[in-house]
Amino acid sequence: MHTVSNAPQNETASRQYPRLMKLAGLLFAALLTLLFTASAETPVVGSLAPDFTLKTPAGQAVRMSRLLGNHPLVLVELRGFPGYQCPFCQRQVHDFIVHAGDFAAKHATVLLVYPGPSAQLDQRAKEFLATESKLPPNVVLVVDPDYLATNLYGLRWNAPHETAYPSTFILNRKGRILFEKISHSHGDRLSAEDALKQLR
């Protein structure tokens, strides 16, 4: 009568167990992230603005909280590239660029978020800025591939030929939202002059 040993199989299983547990943990974390971004609600006035890190079209990483830098910040969510360059976005961005000196006088930075599918988004954002001269130092544009920050703020406009609800948030130096305007149409935008009035 022969006894069959299971020792090699047990050793193999014990070596694979930590790897399987690590993989399961990563999948669980990814699922939680997906559920959070899918169900995120738009932050309200008085709440702390969710932090995020995105890149400029040139590839420079920008973290919102670091850009805030103990000064006020104007966060502008654009429509990005819904099959064309949105003329309302271009008009709004030009308005903020023209008033960049007024924002600088209030020690405020303007952060523009350009969302859309990741394919060619950097190039689309560069095309968007082509009609403007070089951005002032206190105006920064970042791309939001696959709507990561857009979903975090609950601003995804999930309809044909749409990307995000055009919105503007004004943050105090601690990152709390002082004012917000969320538009459910293309043209209802906050002007630079009105944003300046809200800064205090």
pLDDT by residue (tens digit) across 115-154?
999 999 999 999 999 989 889 999 999 999 999 999 999 9
Of 18-22, 39-43, 149-153, 189-193, give the lowest mean pLDDT range: 18-22
What's the rounded mean pLDDT across residues 84-109? 97
What's the rounded mean pLDDT across residues 7-15? 55
Q: Which helix (H) or strand (E) holds 29?
A: helix 7-39
Query: Which domains, from first to last, does the chain contain?
Result: 53-198 (3.40.30.10)
What's the rounded mean pLDDT across residues 2-16? 55
Distance of CA 14 to the CA centre of its chain: 42
Percent of the chain with pLDDT over 70: 80
Q: Which residues lie across from 171 on neighbouring strands? A: 73, 177
Residue 166 has pLDDT above 80, yes or no: yes
pLDDT number for residue 23: 62
CB contact at 8 A, 115 and 95: no
